[in-house]
Amino acid sequence: MSGAEPFPEAARVSVRNAQLRSNLRHATHTIRAKRAKAVAELADWGRLRAAGAAIKDRTLRHLDHYLEQLESAVTAAGGQVHWAVDADEANRIVTRLVKATGETEVVKVKSMATQEIGLNEALAAAGIRAYETDLAELIVQLGDDRPSHILVPAIHRNRTEIRDIFRHEMGHWGRPAPEDLSDSPAELAEAARLHLREKFLRAKVAVSGANFMVAETGTLVVVESEGNGRMCLTLPETLISVVGIEKTVPTWRDLEVFLQLLPRSSTAERMNPYTSTWTGTTDGDGPREFHLVLLDNGRTDTLADQVGRQALRCIRCSACLNVCPVYERAGGHAYGSAYPGPIGAILTPQLRGTASALDASLPYASSLCGACYEVCPVAIDIPEVLVHLRERVVEGGSATRDGARVTIKPAKGHAAERAAMRAARWAFEHPRALRAGERLASRTRGLHPTRLPGPGAAWTASRDLPRVPPEPFRDWWQRTHGGREAK
Ligand code: SF4
C-alpha cells in the first residue's frame, strides 16, 4: 500500500464525492458531540489523561523489561509467545500456526495490527479464508473495500449501501441475507448476526489483536461493543493473537486508567459493553491452545525517535479522527494505510519510513489546528510530531530504520520549501541583513504582488498574501519605546 498515490492526489478524489463527505460529516459530528459530553462528566479527566500518558511513557522507556515479563507470564500460563520483527515474519508465523491445526478457515476479532500487516491477504495466498466478525469489518470485507476509520471501519457507507452489499454478497461468504432485507438498522444487524453465528459455531481457529497486554500476569484484553470478540475468544480451540509490542501495560492498576480513558474517548460510553480478558489457557474453558505473536514492524525504530515515540502511546480510540477537519473531508482511504486521520499521519511514516511519495506526504495531511491534541486521551502532541516529520521529509537527516542509524535523504519535490527555510535561517542568523531586508520590503510595499508566482502560486490560490507593514516592527518599537510614545 505504501506504493499508492500521495495523500493530496488521493484526497482530491474523495473530496469530490459528495455522498462520502456527507456520511463522514454526519458520523464524525455525532461521535464527537457524544464524546465531549462523556468526557465532561469526569471532573478529573485532565489528571486521568496525564496519568495515561505517564504510564505509557514509563512503559515504553522500560519496554524490554516489560516484554520479557509478559513473555514469562504468558508461557507460565500455558501460552506460546512468538516474536515477529516485521509484517512478513508475523504473517509467516500465523499461517504456519493455522496450517498446523489442519484448518482452512479462521474467524477474526477486529484488529488494527492484522490490517497493518495484511494478514487476510497472506492467509488467502496460503489457501486459508479469514472471516471478519466485527459488523463494520464484515461490511468492509463483503464490499471488497478498505476500512476508513479506526473504530467505525465502514463509516463511509450509509444504510442503503450496506443493505445492497448484504443482499448481493453475503451468499458468497455463507448464509445469505433475506431477499426482502430493508435498510433498517435492526434488520441489518439481525442479518449479520445470523450470518456470523454459523461461523462462530463452526470455527476451530480464531485470530485476534488486543487493546492491552498486562505484563505482570500475561493477560490480554480486548475491549469491544458487539460481543463478536467474546465469541471468537472463547469458542474456537486455537486462539492466535497478533499484538503490537507497544500495547503492554505493567500492571492491572495501570490497566484501570486506560479502561476509563478508552470507552469515553472512542464510543462515548462510561464503560464499554464487553471487556474480555484471558491469561494463557484453562482446562475445560476457552481455547486449548493460545499463541501470542508480538509484532515490532517499525515500533522499535519509532521508539528510538525522541519526538516521534509519543505516537506509541496511542490507544486507538479514534477521537483525533472525529475532530480532524482534514479527515472529515478526505476520508480514511486517502491515508493509504490501516491508520487513517491524525494518528495515521504520524504513525505510518514512522512505522514504514518516509521513502515513498505517499508516506512522505502524510505529515502534510493536517492543518496543524491542534484539535487532535486537545482530545487525545493520552496527550499525544500530534502537531509537534507532524512538524518534526515534515522537517525530516524536507531536510532529511538521521533516523533509525531496521534497528540501524541511517541518514535519510531529503524527499523529492520540496526544493522551494527547502530554499525558503534556508534563506529564513540565514536571515535570522544575520540580524543586520534581516533589518535591511525588512526596511526594503516596507519601502517597496506598494509594488508587492498579491499573488505569488511559480511554486508559491498554489499557496496564494486560496489565501491572501499578508501585507507588509509601512514600518518594520523593530523600527516602530525603537521610535515609540514599545508604543508608549506613539501618537
Ligand atoms: S492519537 Fe490519541 S486521539 Fe488519536 S487514536 Fe490515538 S489515543 Fe486516540
What would the DSSP string read from start to end of 227-288?
A: SHHHHHHHSSSEEEEEEEGGGEES-HHHHHHHHHHHHHHHT--SS-SEEEEEES-BTTBS-S
Phi (first) and psi of residue 112, to 5 degrees: -70, -35
- Mean pLDDT value of segment 62-67: 98
**Range 8-14 average pLDDT:** 92
Instruction: Count Cβ neighbours within 10 Å for each residue of 173-208 and write b for 16 or more, e otherwise.
Output: eeebbeeebeeeeebbeebbeebbeebbeebbbbbb
Give the DSSP per-residue string, 18-53: HHHHHHHHHHHHHHHHHHHHHHHT-TTHHHHHHHHH
Distance CA 69, CA 62 (A): 11
The pLDDT of residue 59 is: 98
Please check whether residue 84 is in contact with residue 229, taking contact to mean a CB–CB distance below 8 angstroms: no
pLDDT confidence band for 486 (50 / 70 / 90):
low
Task: State residue 449's pLDDT score.
Answer: 87
Whether residue 281 has pLDDT greater than 80: yes
Q: Are 395 and 425 in contact (CB under 8 A)?
A: no
CA 339 – ligand 1 centroid, Å: 11
Q: How confident is the model over 213-237, as a mean pLDDT?
A: 96
> What Å distances lie between residue 284 and 77, 119, 287, CA to CA?
14, 29, 9
Among residues of the chain, what percentage have pLDDT more than 90?
Answer: 84
Q: What is the pLDDT of residue 168?
A: 96
105-108 and 205-208 beta bridge pairing = parallel
How much distance in Å is there from the Cα of 342 to the middle of ligand 1?
A: 8
- Average pLDDT in the 252-265 region? 98
Least confidently predicted of 64-68, 353-357, 409-413, 467-471: 409-413
Query: Which among 378, 384, 385 is the best mutation to test ligand 1's pocket, defined by most ligand atoms within 8 Å of the CB?
Result: 378
- 22 versus 454: which is more confidently predicted? 22
pLDDT at 43: 96
Task: Give the model's pLDDT for residue 487.
Answer: 55
The protein residue with its alpha carbon nearest to ligand 1, atom 8, reads 317
Tell me the per-residue pLDDT of 115-158, one tens digit each, with 9 for 90 and over: 999 999 999 999 999 999 999 999 999 999 998 888 888 888 88
Burial of 372 (0-12, 13-18, 19+ CB in 10 A): buried
Nearest atom of ligand 1 to the alpha carbon of 343: 1
Q: How far is the CA of 378 from the centre of ligand 1 (A)?
A: 7
Q: Are 468 and 448 in contact (CB under 8 A)?
A: yes
* Cell numbers linked to 342: 491524525
pLDDT of residue 299: 98
Ligand 1 atom with the smallest distance to the CA of 313 is 7
Kindly indicate the confidence band of residue 328, based on its pLDDT and cuts at 50, 70 and 90: very high
- Per-residue confidence band for 454, with pLDDT thresholds at 50, 70 and 90: confident
Report CA-CA distances (Å) from 126 to 104, 179, 242, 247, 290.
9, 33, 18, 28, 21
Q: What spacing in Å lies between the alpha carbon of 461 and ligand 1's midpoint?
A: 33
Average pLDDT (262-268) is 96
pTM score: 0.90
> pLDDT of 182-208, one tens digit each?
999 999 999 999 999 999 999 999 999
Sign of the C-alpha dihedral computed for residues 386, 391, 393 and 399 taken in this order: negative
The overall average pLDDT reported for the chain is: 94
Name the grid cell of 387: 512538524
Q: What is the mean pLDDT of residues 319-333?
A: 95
pLDDT at 278: 97
Domains of the chain: 42-295 (3.40.50.10420), 415-480 (no CATH)
The more confident residue out of 53 and 418 is: 53
Taking the C-alpha atoms of residue 182 and residue 167, their distance in angstroms, rounded to an integer, is: 10
Condensed to tens digits (0 to 9), the pLDDT of residues 389-410 reads 999 999 898 999 999 999 998 8
Question: Does residue 1 have a pLDDT over 70?
Answer: no
Query: What confidence category does residue 457 fall into, taking pLDDT thresholds of 50, 70 and 90?
Result: confident
The residue whose grid cell reads 464525492 is 17
Tell which residue, 421, 412, 398, 416, has the closest CA to residue 456: 416
Residue with the nearest Cα to atom 7 of ligand 1? 314
Task: Output the pLDDT for position 20.
Answer: 85
In 3D space, the residue among 339, 397, 326 whose CA is nearest the CA of residue 368 turns out to be 326
Bridge partners, residue 214, by sequence: 219, 249
Ligand 1 mean position, distance from CA 316 (Å): 5
Distance 315 CA to ligand 1 centre (A): 6
pLDDT band at 420 (very low <50, low <70, confident <90, very high): confident
**Contact by Cβ (8 Å): 336, 10:** yes
| pLDDT for position 453 | 82
What residues are in contact with ligand 1 under a 6 Å CB criterion? 265, 314-320, 343, 375-378, 380
What would the mean pLDDT of 25-52 be, rounded to a whole number? 96
For a mutational test of ligand 1's pocket, the pick from 314, 324, 335, i.e. the residue with the most ligand atoms closer than 8 A to its C-beta, is 314
